[in-house]
Amino acid sequence: MNNSKSNKNLSGLSRKDFQKTINGKETDLFFLKNKTMEIAVTNYGATVVAIMMPDKNGNYANVILGHDSIENVINSPECFLNTTIGRYGNRIADGKFTLEGKDYQLAINNGPNALHGGPTGFHTRVWNARQKNEHAVEFTYTAEDGEEGFPGKLEIMMTYTLTDANEWMISYKAKTDKTTIINLTNHAFFNLAGVANPTPTVDNNLLTFNAESYIPINEVSIPLGPIEKVEGTAFDFRKPHLVGDRINSAETQIVNGAGYDHCFVINQEKAGELTLAAKLVEPISRRTMEVYTTEPGVQLYSGNWLNGFTGFKGATYPRRSALCFEAQKYPNTPNEPNYPSCILKPEEEYKQVTVYKFSVGK
């Protein structure tokens, strides 16, 4: 079906600017719409390039750090910008893990570590895409056995839905033919003030996290192992707190992450239950976003390595001009036997749901 009922898209993006043949597969631009919002996504990396929503005065802005053409998506200085991440999101120490007695070595692409599935992970793949209706797009991808060093042929089906309640819902399912590890996530870079030149920092955003604990890291961002309480630290967002208040503190954990780049342990009553993880409020526009997930952790990343590159319609993305809420298993889980397992066996099905719900306050 046609990607959109109308050529008058809130984002002003053009399909032709996202159409390209890559290794025999076609990229395109798809639109999800409801009465008040629009999401634009390309099947290259299943990457979101625009989320258009109004502020308290009804003025629309793109609240995600997107790009305006397929070439700019492919060549982005931030290669994980709003992409789907896999086969394993976050870091694996030294790119090594052992599974069923066999040792595996992944590509090293982040200091001494493997990050986000490797340099040719799911963020670089052209996914098969089917527009189900004006609210939903279904993506599928098959990762072959041995792709980026991971065992097992993995078949993934993922659906992006924009509900009438202004929820961007991501539903993942996956099956493997051989025991493997899996940790899928989305690396969306949000700025609820809206992208601009320059895009403002997120320092004035009010953040609440439904987390009593977080995972400390070493100087190369690998978990130290033990989970620690947020109380008395810069990671205590149990009550609303400004993002920028403690982001430059001298705490070792803030120094190690160059700001926030840590996994929060979500307070779940039952494992796998869809749970409110975080809430973000931009005080000027009054745009609000709530994050819900079935995953045990959410990696908070405060855009510490953004360098001011140009994106959507001339907008620029300076350091700390976005927040990422990456719902996932914990980092380095294959090497931490006390963490919730990331192992998927052939007789099992991987399932995950993450929801970003948008609203506007008074």
Q: Which of 38, 78, 295, 326 is catalytic?
A: 326
Largest Cα span, the chain: 59
Q: Which of 116, 123, 187, 262 is catalytic?
A: 187
> Quick check: is 26 catalytic?
no
Which residue(s) pair with 279 in the sheet?
208, 290
What letters, b where the CB count within 10 A reaches 16 and e where it falls short, cover 249-277?
eeeebbebbebbbbbbbbebeeeeeebbb
C-beta pairs of 140-146 under 8 Å, 24+ apart in sequence: 143/86, 143/87, 145/177, 145/178
In degrees, to the nearest 5, what angle opens at C-alpha 261 toward C-alphas 66 and 90? Answer: 80
3-state secondary structure of 6: coil
Contact 80, 123 (CB under 8 A): yes
> Quick check: is 326 catalytic?
yes
Provide the CB-side half-sphere exposure for 302 (13 A, CA). 25
Provide the CB-side half-sphere exposure for 189 (13 A, CA). 28
Annotated catalytic residues are 187, 326
